[in-house]
Amino acid sequence: MNLIDKLAWIEIKDNRILLTRSYGKDKYYIPGGKRELGETDEQALIREISEELSVTIDESTLKFIGIFKAQAHGQPEGVFVKMTCYSGDYIGGLQASSEIEAIRWFAYSDKDQVVGVDKLIFDHLHQSELLA
């Protein structure tokens, strides 16, 4: 099995989740990305969120949410993405940066606009009464 190993930052306010859309993409994604060689989950997530959203995640507040796996969007059948999710407080003002074109807050009812693995995360957050 081919597996894309990614990290995601779950930021929820008023029962809505923060999502981003990269330039040239048709779907929104939970922000995050891949580890660079030798990085821990925490280091990679802090770096990715700083690059994408111009904020600093407070490492001491990171909380493991879960691991979710699904067919990878835009990849051949049998290529899966594994998303390891954390929540955590941040410092700074959210601002699209780097490859990010748009930032938007989504309700559970918007889940048709996200990729497969994020739909699983939406379902989990909704069942946990974190996402309305």
Q: What is the pLDDT of residues 101-117, one digit of tens each?
A: 999 999 999 999 998 99
Sorted by where each begins, the domain ranges of the chain are: 2-127
pTM of the complete model: 0.92
Count of other CB atoms within 10 angstroms of residue 95: 11
Superfamily of domain covering 2-127: Nucleoside Triphosphate Pyrophosphohydrolase (3.90.79.10)
Q: Please state, for a pLDDT cut of 70, what percent of the chain lies above it.
A: 99
Q: What is the mean pLDDT of the chain?
A: 95
Distances (CA, A) of 127 to 8, 30, 108: 19, 18, 10
Tokens of 54: 């111009």
d(CA 38, CA 101): 29
Task: Check whether 126 has a pLDDT greater than 90.
Answer: yes
pLDDT at 74: 85
d(CA 61, CA 38): 22
Q: How confident is the model at residue 26 (pLDDT cuts 50, 70, 90)?
A: confident
